[in-house]
Structure 1
Amino acid sequence: MNVDSIKSNFKFELVARIIAAVTSGATIVFLARSLEPENYGILFLSISIFTIVGFFAQLGISKSASRYISDYLVEDESQIPHIIKLSTVFLALLVGCSVIGVVLFRYRAAAVMGEPELAFFLLIGTLYIAGFAIKRHTRIILQGFQSIQFSAFIHSVEGVSRLLFVVLFVTVGFGAIGALLGYILSFGLAAIIGTIIIISFYRKYDRSTTPDSDLAKRIFQYSIPIAVTRSASKLDKEVDTLLVGFFLSPLAVSYYAISKQIIRFTEIPASALGFTISPIYGENQSLNELEESARVFETTLVNTLLLYLPACAGLIIISKPTVTYIFGPEYTEAATVLQVMAVYMVLQAIGYITNGGLDFLGKASVRAKIRGSTAILNVVLNIIFIPTFGVIGAAFVTVFTFSLYTIAVLFIMYSEFPVDLVRLAANSSRALIITILMTVPVYVSSLYITGVVTLLGTVAIGAGSWLILSASFGMIGINMDGSILDIVK
């Protein structure tokens, strides 16, 4: 794939994630202001459970199928319809088993969490699990085709419809259950559109009479290490929320959920970039173009640091007014958690640009072992720290364990490609200096924040300082019309 194609796909995915994130952010703010903190906490406690169960409804089937689609586009296109069909059958079986499990054990789960009303949320949540699984499956399959435009469209539809449905149902008086129904309908709509697009791809290729003798076996086997990695990721991202709910209260969950949702909103550029470039590593490996992969990795990593180090510093400075003026004064206690999670934001961004690439490079097994180890450590440390230090303990544990994982995956990427460490270190150092200099005007302006307008003004000052400093250090180029050119040549 040439540079222009990469940029085009990245723009589609970035726009889609911006749309999804903006609508998601609006949804979260609306819910925080429309629901009581306890109801808000129960809603997102439920969603955390759905997310974990949803993992079992997908495992690594979609990503494994996507990897083999990428391979067979070069080797034998007649096998692609078989890959789509086999992965869909696997997915249907997994979704069915997961939904049955939730229905059977919903009362026991509610009793364990000490929240009887959770049982009804879990019953309705079976539709959430199915809709999300199908929507994600279609997105990942399209990634294998490098059809980022269609994949991005599905993501945009889900984000916009979620906001509309949630606002509608909550406004008419259905409360937290109405919000959950809004999520379900948005996933369902995106899943239907994604399925129609996948069917068109299925019909596009002439199918061989029979699939390769071991095709189903290979798809399933490669899904196992991906599933292990995804399960570890879910442990890192969701089990801490469950443990906060178990050891503390729905109110504490609301503080923790608010912080994590803000962090997820900031991950848009890194997640879009990682989703776009991941198949390229596998393609370059097949063509033995390791030098090109090394340059892609170096540039992507420096771009990520250039964006997220300043964002981290700025968020730490304005965390309290951000929570207070956007979500409401009742959530002010979440500000300290958000400051700690700002560091996690940088680590997560690095993860987004490396995780998918390792899977397409055939390193899913190695990544699974590392992710599994750090996830288990995360659970153990959370059990130790949450009862003593509360939600702030959960935040510190998440940052510590994910730091270990990030160091490990960066080392693997370095071992795979001929990375120029001197150039990488020089550009990374410039990103760090820009961050330090940018914090001065942001801190000064933060002293005068009195509401949403002055908060946005501080953000604008930070963004403007970043642009000027980045251009001065030669990290970005700016056109005469003010539009930004390539970041890091």
Structure 2
Amino acid sequence: MAVKDSLARGLKMTVLARAVHVLSNAVLMVLLTRFLLSPDEYGILFLALSVIGVARLFSDLGLAKSAARYVTEFKESDASQVPYVFETALKYRLLFIGIVGCALALGRNYIAGLIGEPAVAPLLLVGAVYLGFHSLSVFNSLLFQGFNCVSWSALVQVVNNVNRIIFAVLFVFVLGFGALGALLGYLVGAALAMVVGFGVLYKYFYSNYEKADEPEEGLSRRILEYSAPMMITRGAGVLNTKIDTILIGVLLNPAAVGFYTLAKQISSSLTVLAGSLGFSISPTYGEQKVNEQLDQAARMYRKTLEYTLLLYLPGAVGVIIVAEPTIRIVFGEAYLGAAPVLQVLGVYVVLRAVNQTTTKALDFLGRARVRAIAKGSTAVANFLLNLVLIPKLGVVGAAVATVITFGIYTFTNVFVMYSELPLDSKRLVRPVALVGVVTAGVGVPVLLATRYVSDVFSLVGVVLFGVAIWSVLAIRTGLLDISSTKSFLLSE
């Protein structure tokens, strides 16, 4: 019961935080695309953010996730080592942030010239500062996850996202700073989140542990060694999520970057629940492994996978069907180039949802190295596929490359999870078949109803119509138990 209650509280707070993140990003997306920025300007902004994301790889180096893993381990076995884990990881984090931030600021003009977009240079100067604040706020969030207190991670995210939109609106609307103003909003949000995160981390966690006379022998080395596969995994993620954007800018144009970014943001935002569940539940897998409760972990993962497929397979079909009217009505005719990209990425929505409920668990089960190899291999394949498909298919080629390679990565992670836990794949056959029935039952009526979409109200009506059909079918097939769900959501 304690595990269930802890998961419920953590999940609800994480869902709230990520819902705020999605809402703030959605509002910012609509404001920037519909009223403030052209596709070229929008593309320039996210081209700069992609470069910053690549630079952040070298400032993070997987240290926070490695520290979170050892916090989870030591708080169960030797709590006096926890402060040393925190200090070691933070020391290295600050060192690499300083090096990378200076390199980004000093090399901004060279980088802008290399990708062929001089307008990116001033954004990279601000981005060097943003990189530091954002990296440290993420560090705090991941440490809270290691303590299995994801509610505090959620607080840090809420502070970040609420202030991001407030200050972005201030800088763009009031001061007229355009894309640079939006980036300044990101910077202020990250800075405030960092301050809150460190304050909570020190007061409620670090200071509450009695510190050993000296760190365990080899502790720094172990943290750095385990951060290596985390860095490889993170680097592969950068190749998948940032390099493709940069390649589109180099091989096509900023407008294409804007189309791809918009479609990717929409598809990624739809996986907020899966991401929240994966983030909240993953430390529990590590604790259950330490306590030799693998059967319980297996049951938890199987049910998580069932609910993820129930929610996201029908959802992906809906995304594919309503992509064109959604882009046209919400973001404007100028951004219609994003519609076919979003349709392809509908498949990515399912893959990402399954992946988010799987990969973080592997980190806490000690399988980060295997995941790193899989992600590194598929990231390289994604890079090569982008080089081939973008010139041939345009911006849609980048989406196709993402779906193919991310699909391979996701299935690999699920396979590793099955090898780590005592899972019986036969028990998934019936639920998956029923999910297929629900998906077909939702897709056909929504496809027929979409022809009547003409404005935002009819679009919302079609979406709600699809949700209503999904709810009825999910309950009638027995896949969704209302009483269990209500009990979980209302638990304290």
Q: TM-score, normalised by structure 1?
A: 0.97
How far apart are residue 485 of structure 1 and its match?
A: 5.6
The percent of aligned pairs where both chains have the same amino acid is 39
Residue aligning to 1:6: 7
Corresponding letter in the other structure for 2:110: R
Task: Please give the alpha-carbon distance, in whole angstroms, between the structure 1 residues aligned to 2:434 and 2:420.
Answer: 25
1:182-197 to 2 correspondences below 5 Å: 182-197=185-200
Task: Please give the alpha-carbon distance, in whole angstroms, between the structure 2 residues aligned to 1:65 and 1:479.
Answer: 38
Task: Please give the alpha-carbon distance, in whole angstroms, between the structure 1 residues aligned to 2:454 and 2:242.
Answer: 34
Residue aligning to 1:333: 337
In 1, are the aligned partners of 2:137 and 2:193 still within 8 Å (CA)?
yes
1:417 aligns with 2:421: yes
How far apart are residue 36 of structure 1 and its match?
A: 1.7
1:259 aligns with 2:263: yes
1:89-488 to 2 correspondences below 5 Å: 89-172=91-174, 173-200=176-203, 201-478=205-482, 484=486
How far apart are residue 479 of structure 1 and its match?
A: 5.2
Alignment partner of 2:426: what SS?
helix
Task: Please give the alpha-carbon distance, in whole angstroms, between the structure 2 residues aligned to 1:246 and 1:325.
Answer: 29
Task: Please give the alpha-carbon distance, in whole angstroms, between the structure 2 residues aligned to 1:331 and 1:39.
Answer: 12
Two-structure CA RMSD over aligned residues (Å): 1.3
How far apart are residue 281 of structure 1 and its match?
A: 1.1
Superposed CA offset, 1:32-81 (max 9, x none): 12112111110011111111111211111000000000001111111111
Alignment partner of 2:55: what SS?
helix
Task: Please give the alpha-carbon distance, in whole angstroms, between the structure 2 residues aligned to 1:486 and 1:448.
Answer: 38
Superposed CA offset, 1:379-437 (max 9, x none): 01101111111101111011001111111111101111111212212112111210111
Corresponding letter in the other structure for 1:176: A
Moved more, 413-422 or 457-466: 413-422
1:30-109 to 2 correspondences below 5 Å: 30-33=31-34, 34-109=36-111
Moved more, 247-256 or 52-61: 52-61
Residue aligning to 1:18: 19
Moved more, 465-474 or 425-434: 425-434
How far apart are residue 113 of structure 1 and its match?
A: 1.3
Superposed CA offset, 1:80-106 (max 9, x none): 111111111011011011102112321
Long gaps (5+) in structure 2: none
Alignment partner of 2:357: what SS?
helix
Task: Please give the alpha-carbon distance, in whole angstroms, between the structure 2 residues aligned to 1:407 and 1:442.
Answer: 29
Alignment partner of 2:481: what SS?
strand
In 1, are the aligned partners of 2:164 and 2:186 still within 8 Å (CA)?
yes
Q: TM-score, normalised by structure 2?
A: 0.97
Task: Please give the alpha-carbon distance, in whole angstroms, between the structure 1 residues aligned to 2:312 and 2:446.
Answer: 15
Task: Please give the alpha-carbon distance, in whole angstroms, between the structure 2 residues aligned to 1:231 and 1:445.
Answer: 42
How far apart are residue 478 of structure 1 and its match?
A: 2.8
How far apart are residue 484 of structure 1 and its match?
A: 4.8
Task: Please give the alpha-carbon distance, in whole angstroms, between the structure 1 residues aligned to 2:337 and 2:418.
Answer: 40
Alignment partner of 1:207: what SS?
coil
In 1, are the aligned partners of 2:8 and 2:488 still within 8 Å (CA)?
no
Structure 1 consecutive aligned stretches of length 4 or more whose deviation exceeds 6 Å: none
Task: Please give the alpha-carbon distance, in whole angstroms, between the structure 2 residues aligned to 1:124 and 1:86.
Answer: 28
Corresponding letter in the other structure for 2:97: V
CA shift in 2, pair 1:478/1:194, >3 Å: same
Alignment partner of 2:50: what SS?
helix
Task: Please give the alpha-carbon distance, in whole angstroms, between the structure 1 residues aligned to 2:151 and 2:337.
Answer: 40
Alignment partner of 1:117: what SS?
helix
How far apart are residue 264 of structure 1 and its match?
A: 1.5
In 2, are the aligned partners of 1:337 and 1:392 still within 8 Å (CA)?
yes
Task: Please give the alpha-carbon distance, in whole angstroms, between the structure 1 residues aligned to 2:483 and 2:213.
Answer: 54
In 2, are the aligned partners of 1:476 and 1:485 still within 8 Å (CA)?
no
Moved more, 304-313 or 25-34: 25-34
